[in-house]
Amino acid sequence: MRVAELVLEALYQHGVRQVFGIPGDAINDFTYALHNRSDMDFVLVRHEEAGAFAASAQAKLTGELSCCMGTAGGGSIHLLNGLYDAKMDKAPVIAITGQVATDFIGTGYHQEVDTERLFSDVAVYSKTVMDPGQLPGILLEAIKAALSERGPAHISVPTNIAGRKVPFIPGNLQLAKAQSQITPADTALRQAADLIGKSVKPVILAGIGGAEAKADILELARKLKAPIVRTLRAKDWIDEHHIECVGGLGLLGGRAGSKAMDGCDCLIMLGTDYPYVDFYPKSAKTIQVDRDIRQLGKRTTIDVPLHGDVGSTLKALVPLIADKTADGFQQSIREIHEKERKSWAKDETSSDTPLKPQTVLATVGRLAPEDAVFLCDTGTVTAWSARHLTVGDGQRFVLSACLGTMAFAMSGALGAQLRFPDRPVVALAGDGGFAMLMADFVTAVRYNLPITVVVLENKKLGFIALEQEGKGLPEHSIDLVNPDFVAFAKACGGVGLRADSYDGLQSALKEAFSNNLPTVINVAVDPEALIVPPEINMNQAYHFGLAKTRESVETIENALKEHMGKKDASD
């Protein structure tokens, strides 16, 4: 068996069925080996970045290994953004890169890039195979690192190595899955139970690390009569249709989440290292549960750190806790949440044109099939989705959470649809994020992937505008000149639909969810729609007012300049 063949066989035995990338002379042995397999596919994307996003999305959705590939030089470099997305969201991806022949490494040869060094920050493991005899050890170490450390692992293979025979092939290429559950020490559990027992207003902050312990978390919330505030990544497994959940925080949530955090006397963090420190309570006692000991106390002071899996920890902790009687705190938070949801309902069903983003996301959530997989891009679409897209128990929701990079949604949808061919896959993107890698819509057409891409077109980089105004600056450098996305989708061989009204939106979504074809729905949305923070302080109000004043002055100045220019031309 040759080097390239052995790599692919090991990946296959670990569940990899697609390899995303673009061919090149430095990886020809790999693409040819894939060409000769009937049980694995090389998915030819139009940009390696899209391939890395597709692999990252697969790994996020399954927790299992995925793979992307790039040739020497630029092809390898193009993988980096998608791999950083995988790194920061803890997704196990194997990146294979080609390299110049070993004789030329270190000579500045054409397309030579020190990829082992280049990938050393993004990858949990990065090595170059300099001899075929090294391959079995490097290969299994890379797979082990990706799965155990939950991140990208990188293998660089010089072009004169990939086609050579491996002198020794292990009898078993598949690593045994270690079945382990970490439970904190009894003393720590008793300390946590004692702290919770003394609390009057406990609140649960649930993150993606609690996904496998949903029933345990809900049991804890019911026993403590505690509101659950979720991080955005946790929207994948718990959303506001659960009565215990009162939504998220800040621009990605509502008033109820912020009020719960502000008012609690005991915060129980479950599987999260929520980064925005301003939202943590200032005087509450805090308990944090995480299987990664490095996350304990990373963001705020922890009174009782519990090193363990959320599920096994709660199974040991909950029996130590007495049921609490309901008081006014949980009910008051619930009332705030319900009142806010009712205030949002008007915008979520508005027939105003241009359409409100709130209307678009709420309608997508209402009409999407019950097993839909949502992939959300970065920008204002993130905030609108966080607040107004309902994710049901049988649905999934992933995004570029920690890196927060644009262009993830549609590229990730390619990977999701290949991984789950029988499930509807919906990409939610702004016009800025979609346009970055929109060429890969043709990849969906080529491989008959019936993804639905909902493009919210406001003709500007809306979240950047929000950040500019938050600093008191007028909007600048954010206006977009877009192609006709509907015509583009049709030119690719897919379906392009335009939605300019509420009825048109519903009609387009129903068609997209039933036609079994790659579809782009271009929705013109109100460019002036504001994402209002749950609580507005004086500093925010001042800077927003300052920005609007500056924008008004600039508008007047530009009008005067235009008028004077016309006057001079007529004189």
Same domain as 275, residue 392: no
Give the residue carrying structure tokens 């060094």.
117
Classify each residue of 24-38 as buried b or exposed e, where b means 16 or more C-beta atoms within 10 Å of its C-beta: bebbbbbbbbbeeee
Q: Give the CATH number, domain containing residue 513.
A: 3.40.50.970
Asked if residue 570 belongs to a domain, the reply is no
Same domain as 410, residue 295: no
CA distance 434 to 431: 5
User: What is the chain's length?
Assistant: 571
CA torsion 126-128-131-133 (nearest 10°) is: 10
CA distance 113 to 116: 9
Asked if residue 109 belongs to a domain, the reply is yes
Helix (H, G, I), strand (E, B) or coil at 158: strand
Strand partners, 399: 376
Asked if residue 553 belongs to a domain, the reply is no
Same domain as 373, residue 458: yes
Q: Which of 506, 524, 542 is the last residue of a domain?
A: 524
Give the residue carrying structure tokens 């925005």.
276
Same domain as 196, residue 154: no
Q: What is the mean pLDDT of each run of 10 residues along the chain (571 residues)?
A: 97 98 98 98 99 99 98 99 99 99 97 98 99 96 97 99 92 76 96 98 98 97 97 93 91 94 97 94 96 96 98 98 90 95 94 97 98 98 97 97 98 99 99 99 99 99 92 94 99 99 98 99 96 75 71 75 69 64
User: Cα separations (Å) of 422 from 369, 373, 418, 450, 451?
Assistant: 12, 11, 9, 10, 11
Domain limits for position 396 = 349-524
Q: SS3 for 293-354, per residue?
A: HHHCCCCCCCCEEEECCHHHHHHHHHHHCCCCCCCHHHHHHHHHHHHHHHHHHHHHCCCCCC
Helix (H, G, I), strand (E, B) or coil at 271: coil
CA torsion 152-158-162-163 (nearest 10°) is: 170
User: Cα separations (Å) of 532 from 135, 232, 355, 381, 489?
Assistant: 54, 17, 17, 14, 33
Same domain as 353, residue 321: no
Inter-helix orientation angle 357-367/328-348, to 10°: 100
Inter-helix orientation angle 80-88/48-62, to 10°: 20
Same domain as 353, residue 484: yes
Same domain as 489, residue 361: yes
Classify each residue of 236-252 as buried b or exposed e, where b means 16 or more C-beta atoms within 10 Å of its C-beta: bbbbbebebbbbbbbbb
**Residue 543 CB neighbour total at 10 angstroms:** 16
Same domain as 139, residue 34: yes
Same domain as 134, residue 221: no
Same domain as 504, residue 417: yes
Q: Tokens for 423?
A: 């499930």
**Rounded to the nearest 5 degrees, what angle is found at the Cα of 483, between the Cα atoms of 477 and 479?**
15
**Cβ contacts of 371 within 8 Å, gap of 6 or more:** 394, 395, 423, 424
Give how many domains the chain has, as a whole number.
3
User: Cα separations (Å) of 392 from 238, 374, 396, 475?
Assistant: 8, 11, 8, 37
Residue 310 in contact with residue 217, Cβ under 8 Å? yes
Closest to 495 in 3D by CA, of 546, 556, 463, 454:
454
Give the residue carrying structure tokens 């939610």.
428
Asked if residue 174 belongs to a domain, the reply is no
Same domain as 303, residue 429: no
CA distance 285 to 267: 6
Same domain as 308, residue 380: no
